[in-house]
Structure 1
Amino acid sequence: MSGAGYLRSDRSFLNMPFRTLLELRNCAGPGLAAFVRYGYCAIAIGVVVLCGLQLAAAPSQPLDQPPASVGTIAEEPITPIPEPPPIDPRKVKLGERLFGDPRLSRDNSRSCLSCHDVSSNGATTKRQDIGLDGSSLPFNTPTIFNATLNFRLGWEGRLRTMESDVQAALANPQIMGISISEVVAKLAADPDMRKEFTAAYGSGPDAANMVDAITSFERTLVTPDSKFDRWLTGDAAALSKEELNGYWLFKSLGCVSCHQGVNVGGNLFERHGIFHPLASPKPEILRVPSLRNVATTPPYFHDGSAQTLDEAVRKMGLAQLNSTLTDQQVNAIVAYLQTLTGKYRGSPVGASP
C-alpha cells in the first residue's frame, strides 16, 4: 500500500496534539543520520507519513498510471470548504470598510487591501511587499482568502487567532505602525464611522469592536465551490482525466502528507529543504501553507523565490520528496492544483467580482 493509501485509511494523526506532531516531524532529516540520532521517532514518522518521507512500500503500479478508481470520496484526506459562517451583516460591512481604510496605518498611506487585495488573489503578485520604511517585508505575503481555516497564522505560525493577527499587523512598524488607540481616535472623529459602529455594536468605536469588525469581515473570506470541491461533493465529472491523475500523484508521491484537510495545508509545521535546499534557509521550520487558490498566488515559498507553479512543484518534489519529477508528472500535478481555485462572491478567485 502506498503512503497515500495508508493516509486515507488511517488519518488519526491529524488529531494528534500540535506539540506531538511538531516533535515527531522535527525528527525528519535529509538522511539516515536523522533516524539514527532520533531512533525513537522512526516508527511514528513512518506511521504518520511525514512530508518528504514516503512509506517504504512502493506503489503497486507505476506512478504515472493511476488506479481505475482514485478512491472513495468520503475517505479523501481533503474536505470541501464550507460556506462562510453566519455573521451580522452590519459588522461584516463595517469590517470591509475598515479593511480598505488607510487610517489604519500610521501615515494614512496604506490599508489592509494594500497587501491583501481581495479583488484578485487576496495577496499581491510581489515577491515581497514593501514596508512603511521602504524596505522589503521579510516574507512573501500569504493570501487572506481562507486564512480563517488555518490553525496558525503567518509563515512562522506565531499567531493563533484572527484577532491577534490584526493586532500584530497594526502594531508592526513595517506594516501599519500604529497603536489601536490611535486608530480608534481617528475613527471616533468621523461622524459616519461613529454611526456605523453604533448601528453594528450599540456604541462608538473602541479597541474591541474595531478588531471584531475587521475579523468578522475576514471570516467571510472563504472561497468554496472550486472544481475539486465539486468533485469531493459528488460531481464525478468535475475533474478531467489529467486533473484526477494529478490528484492521484499528489497523494501517491506524498504531497498530501503535509497538504491535507479543509485548507489543503495550513494545519502543520514542517522543516523545508529536507533533502535539498528549497528557498531561503531561514527560518528552517515554517507553517505549511494552504494550497487553496494556489494557481492565483505566485510567486511561491516564504521568500517568493519560485515564479511559477511549475517551478514550485519541481522544487518541492526535489527538496521535500527527493524526487525529480517528470514533465508529465509536473503537468498533471499543476493541472490538479489549478482545480483548487474557489469562488469569492460568485467569481473565481483572481477574476474581477
Structure 2
Amino acid sequence: MAKPRPGRRRVAVAALVGSALAILAAAAHGRPADASVSAEAADALGVITPVPSTLGADPGRSAIGRLLFTDTRLSRGGDRACITCHDIRASGASAVPRNLTADGTPVPRNTPTAFNAALSFRLGWAGDIPTLREQAELALTRPEFLGGSWPRILDTVRGDPVLAPMFQAAYGRAADREAVIDAINSFERTLLTPDSRFDRWLRGDAHAITDAERAGYDLFRGIGCASCHQGVNVGGNLFEKVGIFVTIPDKVGEVLRVPSLRNVAVTAPYFDDGGIATLPEAVRLMARAQLGRELTPAQVDGIVAFLGTLTGAYEGRPLTAPPAPGAPRP
C-alpha cells in the first residue's frame, strides 16, 4: 500500500477534527447532529450544520440593542454607529476593502459581517477577541471604531426619553456599562441567517440545491476545503496559518481565525485585507495557497455555485451585497 503524503495526512486529520467540532456545535445548539435531515444529507452534517433560527436572546434587551446598533450619538464624533460598517440592511459588512477610522485612515483589516458572529468561537480576523462582550466594548470605545467614552454613552442613553424607560423595564435599573453591552450583545445574537438553500437541503428538501451545486459541494469536501470550513458557520471555529494569499505587499504569514463562509457570496471584497474583489478569484487563490491545487475554471465555478447556496435570510429577507460607496440604496 502506498504511503500517504504528509499533506494528505494533515487534511485527513483536520477533516476528522472538523467533523467532531461540527457534531459538538450541533449539540451546543440543542439538537443531535443528524436530526430532521434526509438520508442523503445526513453525511453532510458531519461537516456543516444548519444555522439555528434563534439563540434565545431576550426580546426586550435585543430591542434596546437594535436601537443602540444604529445610534450615532454613541460615537466620539456623533457621525457613526455599528451599522456604519456592519450594514445589516444588506450583508452585515460593507462594500469597501477597509472602512475608515474617525480620522479618515483605513482600519487595519476588512470588516467581517456581523451576521452569525455569535456562532463563532472567537471574533476578529486574528481571533483575538474572546467573546461578544469584549467585541462590543472595543467597538464602542476604540478610536479606530466609534471612539466613544462611557460617561458620554451613559449620559446619552440615560437622558433619552425612549431608551431610559426601556432599560428600566428590561434590566430593572438605569442604564449602566454592563447593561449597554448586554443589550448590544442581545441584539447581535439575533443576527442569524437561517433558511439558506443549503440548510434547507440539509433538513431534507432534496430540491433546494441543484445538481451542479451539489457537485460543487462534493468538490469542496473532496479537495479539503471542508477541513477548515465546517461546523455551523462553515468556518469560524479554527485557526489557520496564512499569509501567502493575502494581497498586502510584503505581508508576513500569521495565524488567523478561519473565516465563516456563511453569506460569502454577498460579502465581497475578500480576505483580511479586502484585496480580492470577486469570489471566483478568492476560491482560486485559496486552493493554490492553502491546498496546493490549481483549479480548473469549471472547478472554480462549481465551488462558487455551492457557496452561493450558503446565503441565508435575516428576518425573512435574503441577504444582498451592500451598495458601492456613493451608490443610492434601492
TM-score tier by shorter-chain length is 0.7 to 0.9
Cα distance in 2 for residues equivalent to 1:324 and 1:221? 36
Alignment partner of 2:133 out of 157, 163, 182: 163
Query: Is the alpha carbon distance of 1:142 and 1:8 closer, same or farther for their aligned partners in structure 2, counting shifts above 3 Å?
Result: closer
Are the aligned partners of 2:20 and 2:46 in contact in 1 as well (CA < 8 Å)? no
253-262 or 87-96, which deviates more: 87-96
2:271 equivalent to 1:279: no
Aligned with 1:73: secondary structure? Answer: helix
The residue that corresponds to 1:248 in the other structure is 218
Alignment partner of 2:74 out of 104, 107, 123: 104
Cα distance in 1 for residues equivalent to 2:42 and 2:54? 26
Deviations 1:38-92 (A, max 9, x none): xxxxxxxxxxxxxxxxxxxxxxxxxxxxxxx977436531111111122321111
Alignment partner of 2:186 out of 216, 219, 224: 216
Same amino acid, percent of matched pairs = 48
Q: Which amino acid aligns with 1:14?
A: L
Cα distance in 2 for residues equivalent to 1:250 and 1:13? 18
Aligned with 1:191: secondary structure? Answer: coil
Alignment partner of 1:146 out of 110, 116, 137: 116
Alignment partner of 1:14 out of 9, 16, 21: 21
By how many angstroms is 1:106 displaced? 0.8
The residue that corresponds to 2:280 in the other structure is 310
Cα distance in 2 for residues equivalent to 1:148 and 1:71? 25
2:299 equivalent to 1:333: no
Cα distance in 2 for residues equivalent to 1:124 and 1:10? 32
Deviations 1:71-116 (A, max 9, x none): 7436531111111122321111111000000011011110000000
Are the aligned partners of 2:41 and 2:202 in contact in 1 as well (CA < 8 Å)? no
Are the aligned partners of 1:278 and 1:315 in contact in 2 as well (CA < 8 Å)? no
Cα distance in 1 for residues equivalent to 2:87 and 2:319? 11
By how many angstroms is 1:152 displaced? 0.5
Deviations 1:115-147 (A, max 9, x none): 001000001001100100110011000000000
By how many angstroms is 1:9 displaced? 6.8
Deviations 1:306-348 (A, max 9, x none): 1000110011111111111001100000000000000100011
State how many pairs are aligned. 300
The residue that corresponds to 2:260 in the other structure is 290
Cα distance in 2 for residues equivalent to 1:9 and 1:283? 25
Cα distance in 2 for residues equivalent to 1:201 and 1:147? 24
The CA RMSD over aligned residues, in Å, is 2.6
Query: Is the alpha carbon distance of 1:83 and 1:71 closer, same or farther for their aligned partners in structure 2, counting shifts above 3 Å?
Result: closer
Cα distance in 2 for residues equivalent to 1:272 and 1:204? 46
The residue that corresponds to 1:128 in the other structure is 98
Which ranges of 4 or more aligned residues in structure 1 deviate by more than 6 Å? 1-10
Aligned with 1:271: secondary structure? Answer: strand
Q: Which amino acid aligns with 2:93?
A: A
Q: Which amino acid aligns with 1:308?
A: T
Cα distance in 1 for residues equivalent to 2:102 and 2:259? 25
What TM-score results when the alignment is normalised by the length of structure 1? 0.79
The residue that corresponds to 2:324 in the other structure is none
Aligned with 1:285: secondary structure? Answer: strand
Are the aligned partners of 1:299 and 1:306 in contact in 2 as well (CA < 8 Å)? yes
Query: Is the alpha carbon distance of 1:164 and 1:6 closer, same or farther for their aligned partners in structure 2, counting shifts above 3 Å?
Result: closer
Alignment partner of 2:240 out of 266, 270, 273: 270
Cα distance in 1 for residues equivalent to 2:59 and 2:191? 13
The residue that corresponds to 1:46 in the other structure is none
Aligned with 1:159: secondary structure? Answer: coil
343-352 or 90-99, which deviates more: 343-352
Structure 1: give runs of 5+ residues left out of the alignment.
16-68
The residue that corresponds to 2:54 in the other structure is 84
Query: Is the alpha carbon distance of 1:184 and 1:332 closer, same or farther for their aligned partners in structure 2, counting shifts above 3 Å?
Result: same
Are the aligned partners of 1:271 and 1:284 in contact in 2 as well (CA < 8 Å)? yes
Query: Is the alpha carbon distance of 1:133 and 1:95 closer, same or farther for their aligned partners in structure 2, counting shifts above 3 Å?
Result: same
Of the two, which has the highest radius of gyration?
1
Cα distance in 2 for residues equivalent to 1:279 and 1:8? 27
Query: Is the alpha carbon distance of 1:114 and 1:11 closer, same or farther for their aligned partners in structure 2, counting shifts above 3 Å?
Result: closer
By how many angstroms is 1:240 displaced? 0.5
The residue that corresponds to 1:191 in the other structure is 161
2:204 equivalent to 1:239: no
The residue that corresponds to 1:66 in the other structure is none
Query: Is the alpha carbon distance of 1:271 and 1:70 closer, same or farther for their aligned partners in structure 2, counting shifts above 3 Å?
Result: farther
Aligned with 1:333: secondary structure? Answer: helix
Are the aligned partners of 1:92 and 1:217 in contact in 2 as well (CA < 8 Å)? yes
Aligned with 1:246: secondary structure? Answer: helix
